[in-house]
Amino acid sequence: MQSYPPIFASFHQSLSTLLETPYGDKSDDLASIIVRRVEHFLHNHEQQDFDAWSEQDIFLITYGDSLNDGEKKPLNVLNKFIKSQLGQLISTVHILPYFPFSSDDGFSVIDYLQVNPALGSWEDIRAISEDYRVMTDLVINHVSRESLWFADFVSGTQPGRDYFIEEEPATDLSMVTRPRNSPLLVPTQTRRGTRHVWATFSEDQIDLNFKNPDVLIKMVDIVLFYLAQGTSVVRLDAIAFLWKRLNTSCVHLPETHTIVKLMRLIVEKARPGALLITETNVPDPENFSYFSQGNEAHMVYQFALPPLILHALNRGTEKYLAHWARALPEYPQGCTTLNFTASHDGIGLRPLEGLVPNSEVSELVDSMHRFGGFVSMRTLQDQSEKPYEINISLFDAMKGTRRGEDHWQAQRFLCSQIIMLGMKGIPAIYIHSLLATPNDLAGVERSGRTRSINRRKWDIGDLFTELDNPVSMQSMIFKTLKTIIGIRQKESCFHPDTPQQIINFAPGIFAFPRIEPKADKSLTAIHNLTATHMDINAGKYQGCFDLLSGNTFTSEHLKPYQSLWLVSG
């Protein structure tokens, strides 16, 4: 067995122990390969520690080309906009896949090691990382069928020849959990004849075979390369589907959890303070399983939050949102959630399973259809279909309630953002929420994909015209959210780790204190989820200071969709 300095000996042992689960007697050799990779990384890159998270942490989610000016590269335009318009109001920029791709707006990667030249270069990524943490997607489950790896598979040459999963069409795959209703096996013409390859998401996104340890080492190399280019948050895309075993669901398998643990060890060793986040759009117990004992993901997405907030504001009830929030588990030390209300994807409905009655989910879907949205379906084991995701701009999702459109869109939308900004965890705001972008139906028509409804590419000149117009929705929402974020960043009760309690206030009111036990300090967030004035018994809060209005609270009622952040004294 190879001898290592003390700084790497325990690292090697931890890796080797982990790798026994998926790779058996190859584990020690694989651990040695990874140690050498990390050793080389540390030798060639200056150490850079990152601060732990705080109340000042706000993530911005954006595509590299969400903003364009027709001249400069979009990543350059994005960087200038963030620095000039947001400054330190955000701490981290999640730039959605910025690599050459063939479909799915970046999530079908052709080359993991190149920046899409239409967006910019690695120099642009590093420039953004000088002022902000950069979150990069590791699209780990699958690769574009236009990649060189898949070309190797087709031609029967190495290394890609053994990078993919082949199954016979007659194989019983009925137990496999599916996020899409496309065929799971895709026929492919190769030099060896027709082969059927595993494709969880689409015929252009071919799943990688992690039973081949060479695939694992390739992904380790890619992670280290991203860290070298300025990444400090690694997002494991679609990680739940990574490992496949026949006669199982092929989701959340023990080998998958092992590889997440492995990636955490590598990230922490190479870049102390760097973070790992898992993307698993599934019900809460499955989602939180990626915390494990505090040795897997540092963060998981709070996937139940977007549909629950939307449902609460659509029906004017706190019932299910409060019930869910009250049952949230304690997170392991060093772990937290990424709270969001919208993203590049639609609003997932799977997290509502077991939380909200199917009839109310159907009514919510009907409302979103009336507000210009779409719904995607997934195929169940019995081959029936079920709503999987609502595709709509969050701003337009707030056009009204289940009773129809009304004139409270802006107030309702701001209420959704204030709830998210106040809850335990780290907030993440999608750029199109920050800009109150409406449904992009023209984008849907151009692309033929319903998800394009929430992926507008703004011309920067058109955007500034709206932001400079004091009566435009874009201007009003953008300025108001910036003010609210600035208030939040100054209040220590909003530290991601500060506990929250859900309290019964009144029907239609969602309220929760954030309590700092050591500082003997608390803040109570109160939100009216309805379009009516709500009388409240707020005697204990009389004389408290409302951070949002900047006034002492003296009222006995809340305006429609009004929110309060009340602190004592």
CA neighbours within 13 Å on the CB side: how many for 311? Answer: 28
User: How does pLDDT run across 244-289, given as a tens digit for each residue?
Assistant: 999 999 999 999 999 999 999 999 999 999 999 999 988 899 999 9
| Mean pLDDT for the stretch of residues 554-563 | 91
Q: What is the mean pLDDT of the chain?
A: 95
Distance (Å, whole) CA 330 – CA 420: 18
**In this structure, how many other beta carbons lie within 10 angstroms of the beta carbon of residue 36?**
14
pLDDT of residue 569: 57
H or E element that contains 421: helix 409-422
DSSP state of 353: T
What integer is the mean pLDDT of 425-449?
Answer: 97
114-120 own/partner pairs: CB under 8 Å, 24+ apart? 115/75, 116/64, 118/65, 118/73, 118/74, 119/64, 119/65, 119/73, 119/74, 119/75, 120/64, 120/73, 120/74, 120/75, 120/76
**Peptide bond before 159: cis, by omega within 30 degrees of 0?**
yes
pLDDT at 552 > cutoff 60: yes
What does the pLDDT average to over 390-405? 97
- Please choose, from the candidates 405, 261, 421, 410, the residue with its C-alpha nearest in 3D space to the C-alpha of residue 338: 421
Residue 541, CB-side half-sphere exposure with 13 Å CA sphere: 25
User: What was the pLDDT predicted at 377?
Assistant: 80
pLDDT, position 556: 78
Residues in the chain, how many? 569
59 confidence band (pLDDT: 50, 70, 90): very high
Nearest-CA neighbor of 63 among 96, 93, 92?
96
| Three-state secondary structure call for residue 60 | strand
- Share of residues in the chain with pLDDT > 70 (%): 99
Region 298-304: mean pLDDT is: 97
Cα-to-chain-centroid distance, residue 375: 19
Q: What are the catalytic residues?
A: 237
More confident residue, 467 or 542: 467
* Per-residue pLDDT reduced to its tens digit, 179-237: 887 899 999 999 999 999 999 999 999 999 999 999 999 999 999 999 999 999 999 99
pLDDT at 542: 81
| pLDDT value of residue 125 | 98
377 with 526: CB under 8 angstroms? no
Residue with the bigger pLDDT between 16 and 45: it is 16
pLDDT digits (tens, 9 = 90+) for 134-163: 999 999 999 999 999 999 999 999 999 999
What is the structure's pLDDT at 390?
A: 96
Q: Using the structure block, give the residue that is written with the tokens 């981290």.
A: 92
What is the token pair recorded at 186? 């895709």
11 burial (CB, 10 Å; 0-12 / 13-18 / 19+) is: buried
Single-letter amino acid, residue 104: D
How far from 258 is each of 16, 261, 289, 293, 508, CA to CA, in Å? 11, 5, 12, 12, 43
pLDDT for residue 1: 53
Q: In the chain, how long is the greatest CA-to-CA distance? A: 78
Instruction: With a cut of 90, say whether residue 496 has pLDDT above it.
Output: yes
Residues facing residue 299 across a β-bridge: 277, 336
Give the residue from 481, 537, 486, 484 showing the smallest Cα distance to 511: 537
Beta partners for 400? 405
- Evaluate if residue 468 carries a pLDDT over 70: yes
Task: For 500-532, write each residue's pLDDT tens digit.
Answer: 999 998 899 999 999 987 778 899 999 999 999
Where does the pLDDT of residue 2 fall: very low under 50, low under 70, confident under 90, or very high at 90 and above? low
Tell me what pLDDT residue 225 has: 98
Least confident window among 1-15, 19-33, 192-206, 306-320: 1-15
